[in-house]
């Protein structure tokens, strides 16, 4: 059935008008919940003290409160899985290193609402200590350095779940210094400068209104005279095609640096290493640096990139699910 042009136009206007009205009413309800009743409009966001907000998904609050259970069986499963990956990579001549990044509540528990919470042992500490004592895999736990640094500067965003660029620089510096101590590389962390900037933290969007929280000021990292160049051709296209053939829709970043030590680093990880300038920082220390925003390590990608060093970076809230996931059979069963 065809509608007359005038009726069709009127119907569309009515729908658009009412859709806009519903959007306005929803935004008003969010504002009332947040500003009048001081209640988070989203179950994924915890309103803390002093303008601090926390992510509640993936057991993040349980981790901060020390109530997330890490059992002996779980630790043993993590150990077995990671040793199998280490052994498979060793056969390829690749060094395996794991970097752990703490949840915000593990570093700043004192601003959680509903009690007087303190820094405590959390999942990142338990798993790091177990792997250090029971395997030969180099483990980099960034939490102690972040706790030390927070005495003199803010290292996480208040309105976002992630570390800020000051925190990311601490993670970068610790990673490079550890690789040097292990004899895997022979270069120092680069120096940086900073400049004032602002960010619209992710928690406004999570609570349903992008304008709910004011932009947050922070010190943005500036790399003086960078040498690394982002690559989007050649081998980059081959790896993109390889991932697409496996139906892998991961973010992939590649850098080359003719001034750096002739070493290739491949990192698989999450949003902590995907942003906050840490990719650009790492690229300054390697002749080739590749970053894949994923935990799904595939043998065919490793074979294409052929790194000297492979780092798996895991945020604390994903440690258990990531480290207990079965490795790619093509990697661990390769003769």
User: Cα-flanking dihedrals φ and ψ of residue 130, to 5°?
Assistant: -65, -45
Residue 315 lies in a domain: yes
Residue 30 lies in a domain: no
**What's residue 17's pLDDT?**
59
Cβ atoms 211, 204 nearer than 8 A: yes
Residue 2 lies in a domain: no
Residue 247 lies in a domain: yes
Residue 18 lies in a domain: no
**What's residue 24's pLDDT?**
74
**What's residue 214's pLDDT?**
95
Low-confidence ranges of the chain (pLDDT < 70): 1-23, 25, 334-335
**What's residue 18's pLDDT?**
59
Per-residue pLDDT tens for 173-200? 999 999 999 999 999 999 999 999 999 9
Q: Cα separation of 53 and 236, whole Å?
A: 38
Residue 3 lies in a domain: no
Burial of 235: CB neighbours in 10 Å, binned 0-12, 13-18, 19+: middle
State the distance between the two ends of the chain, measured CA to CA, in whole angstroms. 66
Q: How many domains are there within the chain?
A: 1
Per-residue pLDDT tens for 281-310? 999 999 999 999 999 999 999 999 999 999
Cβ atoms 97, 273 nearer than 8 A: no
How is residue 257 written in tokens? 């640096």
Provide the whole-model pTM: 0.91
Residue-number span of the structural domain to which 119 is assigned: 40-332
Residue 7 lies in a domain: no
């Amino acid at each position: 059935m065809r509608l007359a042009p005038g009726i069709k136009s009127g119907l569309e206007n009515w729908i658009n008008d009412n859709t806009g009205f519903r959007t306005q009413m929803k935004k008003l309800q969010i504002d009332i919940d947040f500003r009048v009743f001081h209640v988070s409009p989203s179950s994924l966001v915890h309103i803390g003290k002093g303008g601090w907000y926390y992510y509640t998904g993936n057991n993040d609050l349980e981790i901060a409160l020390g109530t997330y259970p890490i059992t002996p069986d779980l630790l043993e499963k993590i150990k077995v899985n990671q040793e199998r990956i280490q052994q498979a990579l060793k056969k390829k001549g690749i060094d395996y290193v794991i970097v752990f990044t703490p949840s915000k509540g593990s570093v700043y528990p004192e601003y959680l609402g509903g009690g007087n919470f303190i820094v405590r042992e959390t999942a990142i500490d338990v798993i790091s200590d177990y792997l250090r004592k029971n395997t030969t895999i180099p483990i980099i736990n960034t939490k102690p350095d972040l706790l030390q640094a927070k005495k003199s500067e803010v290292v996480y965003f208040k309105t976002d779940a992630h570390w800020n660029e000051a925190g990311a620089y601490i993670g970068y510096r610790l990673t490079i210094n550890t690789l040097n101590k292990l004899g895997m590389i022979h270069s120092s962390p680069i120096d940086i400068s900073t400049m004032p900037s602002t960010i619209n933290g992710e928690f406004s969007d999570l609570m349903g209104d992008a304008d709910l929280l004011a932009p947050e000021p922070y010190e943005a990292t500036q790399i003086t005279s960078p040498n690394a160049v982002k690559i989007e051709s050649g081998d980059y296209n081959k790896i993109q095609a390889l991932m697409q053939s496996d139906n892998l829709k991961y973010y992939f970043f590649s850098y080359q640096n003719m001034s750096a030590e002739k070493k290739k680093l491949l990192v698989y990880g999450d949003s902590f290493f995907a942003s906050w300038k840490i990719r650009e920082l790492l690229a300054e220390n390697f002749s080739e640096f590749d970053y894949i925003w994923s935990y799904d390590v595939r043998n065919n990608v490793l074979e294409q990139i052929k790194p000297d060093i492979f780092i798996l970076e895991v945020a604390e809230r994903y440690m258990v699910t990531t480290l207990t996931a079965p490795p790619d059979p093509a990697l661990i069963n390769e003769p």
